[in-house]
Structure 1
C-alpha cells in the first residue's frame, strides 16, 4: 500500500476525515478525492507526500487552514482545493513550489492578502481565487490590494480574483502578463483607472472589471478594441468610453474640428459616432420612402 503511486477515489460518496496516515503514502504522485463529503482539517502529514504532482480535494467539506507543509511537495504541479470551507490566509510558503502550474482555491472562506510569494511560481498558468473573503479587514501594515508582484507571473494564462473585497488599483505591472488570456477582477472594490498598457496584452480575450469603483476612460487600441462586451465593464459609475457607449469629456470634439493625425482615439470616436448617425439616417429614410410608396400605390387602387 505504501508503494501506491495513484489514488483516485473521486465521486465515491465518502465521508469522514483525512487521517494523518495519508502521509505514509510517500510514493504517491496523484491524489484525487474530489466530489465526496470529507470534512475536518487536512493533516500536516500530507506534506510527507514529496513525490506528489497532483492534489485534488475539491468539492468536499474540508475546513481550517491550508497546511503550510504543502511547501514540502517540491514536485507539486496542480493543487485544486476549491468548493470547500478553508479559512485563514493562503500560506506564504506556497511560493516555494517551483513546478506549480495550477492553483485553484475558489469558493472557500480564505482571508487576508494574496501572498506576494506567489510571484516565485514562474511556471504558474492558472490562478483562481474567486469567491473567497480576501478582505481589507486585516492587520495594520498588510495590504489587501492586488500585489504588484502578480505582474511577475510571465506564464500566467488565467487570473481570477473576482468576488472578493480587494481594493486599490489595477497594477501597471499587469501589462507584464504577456500570455494572459483571461483576467477577471470583477465584483470587488478596485478603484482608479484601467491602465492603458493592458491594450498591449496580445493574447487577452476576456477582461472583466465589472462591479467595481473604476473611473476614467476605458483604453482603446490594439487588444482593447476586441474586448467590447458591455457586461465586462458594467456597474462602474465613473467609467466612460466607446465600449460602454458613454463619451468621455476629453473626447468631445471642438467646433473647429481636430487636426488629422492628432489622436487615433478621437478618430475612433468619429468613426463610431458617424456609424450610428448613418444607421439612424438610413432608418428614417426607409420609413419616408415606404410612406411615399404607399401613397403612390393608392393611385392605382381598384375600387
Structure 2
C-alpha cells in the first residue's frame, strides 16, 4: 500500500534503468499532490485493487491501460485532473471494478456502445464535468448493480434510453443535470423505485410527473425543463429539497401532509389558487413561488412564528390584502420578496423588527401612506450561515454503508473511510435584484453579499383608470421603475411629462396617444429606452381649457395611490420647473 495526501509525500517519478520494481501494490492513493504525470512504476503494477490519483494536474490521454493491466481493480478515481480524449472500453470485460470516477476532466466524444457490456459490475459511475456528447448507449441498462450514476455537466443529448430506466433498478442517485437531454423520461417504463436523489434540471425533458410515483425521495430537482401537467400528490414524499421551477406545471399545489422540506422552489410555472397551508415552518428554510398566479391573502399563508425560514419569495403573483403583522415573528428572515402583486394598505412598521433582513422587495404593489420612518434603522448586515444555507452549498457525503457494500477502501484496508463526493448539490434558487437601475441575478453565497430595499414603481397602474384625464405631469421627482404600459389606454391624454426622474425600461408606444409625445416628456431619465416620435402641437382657434393633473412626489410626501389629487401640488420642486402646459381642443365633458 502507498498513500499520500495534501503534498505530504514525495515520490520518484522515474524508475532507474530498465529494472522493473520488485513490489506489487494493492492500494495506491496519491490524491492532491500536484502530480503532473503518472508515476512510471504504475506501468508495472498488475495486482492493484484501488487507485486514487484524484485532484492532481495529470494530463494527456485517459490511462485506460490501468484497467487493462490490473484485472482485479475494483476502485479507480481520476477525478479533477486534465485528462483529454475519448473513453475507450477495455479490450475485455472488467468483472471486478465497482467504482469509476472520471469526473472534472476534459474528456469528450460519445461513450462507446459496449460501455455497459465491459463494466458490468459497476455500482458507482461519475462522468460529470466533462464534454461527453450525443446519446447514451443503451448498454448502460445492463449495469444491474448500479447505485449512483452522475452524468451532469456534459453535452449528452437525445432521449434517456429506456433500457437504463428499466434495467438499473438499484439506482438511488441519478444525476443528469446540465445536459441537452430531451423527450420523455417519466414514462410507464420508468422503474427506478429506489431513487432517493433525482436531479434532471437544466435539460429539455417534456411530459408529466403524474406518470410515475417515487416513494422515498430526499432530493427532487426537475427545474428548467419543459415538464407540464398537475403536481402529483406523491410530491409529499420528498423530504429535503424540491426544485420544480421554470416549467409548465399548472393547477394547485396538493396539500396532503405536505411538506416537510428544507427547500422548495416552484417558481415560474402556471400554478394558481391559494398559497398552500401545509408547509412545515418548523423546518423549511427557503420558499420560492415567484412567477405564478397564486391569489388570496398573505396572512392565511404565513406562520405565527418561524425560526428557520430565511427566504420568502412570492414575487409576481396575484396576492391581495395587506402584509400581516406576524411577519415580524419570522425572526431569521433574510430575503422578503413581495413585489409585483396586488398588496395594499399601509406598509407595517413591524417589518423593522426583521433584524437579519438584507433584501426586501415591496415594489409594484398598491401600498398607501408613508414609508415607515424606522426603515432607516434596518442594518442589512451580514448573515450568520444557518442550516438552510448549508443545505444549498455543502457537498453530498457518501455513507459508510455504501463504502462497505462496494468493497472499496473499507475492506481492502480493514477500516472505514468516508469518501467525499463533492458534486454540486441542488437547492440554489436564483434571485433577481434591481440595483442602481440595473437588474442582476444572484444565487448561492453571493446573495448574502447583496443588500437591497426596493419600493420602486410609484407610478400606480390605477392611473390607467383615469379615463377622462388629458394632462399628467409627474416631472422633477424621484420616481423609479417602469412607466406602466397600461397608461397607453388613456385615450384622451394629450400631455404627459415624466422628465427628470429615475425611470427605466421601455417607453410605452403601443397606442396612438403615446406616439404623440416628444423627447421633452422623458428627458432626464437616462435609463429609459425607446424613442418617442416628435409631433408639433397646434392649438385650435376655438377650444376650451383641458383638465390638468399635476402631481409632485418627494421623499417626505405621502400619497394615496387609489385616490390621486386632481389639484396642483404647492410643494416646491427640487429644480426650477415650468408650469403645466395648458392645451385647448374641442371636447365635450
TM-score (norm 1): 0.72
Alignment counterpart, residue 58 of structure 1, candidates 152, 155, 163: 152
- Quick one: distance in 1 between partners of 2:160 and 2:245? 20
- How far the C-alpha of 1:273 sits from its partner, in A, is 8.9
- For the residue of structure 2 that corresponds to 1:111, the secondary structure is strand
Tell me the equivalent position of 2:178.
83
Tell me the equivalent position of 2:134.
40
Alignment counterpart, residue 96 of structure 1, candidates 188, 191, 196: 191
Alignment counterpart, residue 233 of structure 1, candidates 293, 314, 325: 314
Partners of 2:286 and 2:311 within 8 A in 1 = no
1:99-110 equivalences in 2 (<5 Å): 99-110=194-205
Structure 2 residue 231 is the aligned partner of structure 1 residue 146: yes
User: How many equivalent pairs are there?
Assistant: 250
From the superposition, tell whether residues 226 and 193 of structure 1 become closer, same or farther in structure 2 (CA, over 3 Å).
farther
Tell me the equivalent position of 1:191.
272
Structure 2 residue 256 is the aligned partner of structure 1 residue 162: no
Tell me the equivalent position of 1:257.
none
1:167-246 equivalences in 2 (<5 Å): 167-173=250-256, 175-177=257-259, 179-198=260-279, 200-218=280-298, 219-222=301-304, 227=309, 229=311, 232-242=313-323, 244=338
From the superposition, tell whether residues 272 and 132 of structure 1 become closer, same or farther in structure 2 (CA, over 3 Å).
same
- For the residue of structure 2 that corresponds to 1:150, the secondary structure is helix
Rg comparison, structure with higher value: 2
- For the residue of structure 1 that corresponds to 2:141, the secondary structure is helix
- Quick one: distance in 2 between partners of 1:100 and 1:74? 9
Q: Flag the structure with higher helix content.
A: 1
- How far the C-alpha of 1:195 sits from its partner, in A, is 1.9
- How far the C-alpha of 1:42 sits from its partner, in A, is 1.0
- How far the C-alpha of 1:23 sits from its partner, in A, is 1.5
Tell me the equivalent position of 2:209.
114
Unmatched 5+ stretches in structure 1: 136-143, 253-268, 284-303
Tell me the equivalent position of 1:6.
99
Partners of 1:89 and 1:110 within 8 A in 2 = yes
Partners of 2:349 and 2:374 within 8 A in 1 = no
- Quick one: distance in 1 between partners of 2:207 and 2:282? 32
Q: Flag the structure with higher strand content.
A: 2
TM-score (norm 2): 0.39
- How far the C-alpha of 1:59 sits from its partner, in A, is 0.8
Partners of 1:167 and 1:188 within 8 A in 2 = yes
Tell me the equivalent position of 1:264.
none
- Quick one: distance in 2 between partners of 1:201 and 1:94? 36
Q: For the aligned residues, what is the CA RMSD?
A: 3.3
From the superposition, tell whether residues 42 and 282 of structure 1 become closer, same or farther in structure 2 (CA, over 3 Å).
closer
Partners of 2:352 and 2:375 within 8 A in 1 = no
- Quick one: distance in 1 between partners of 2:192 and 2:116? 18
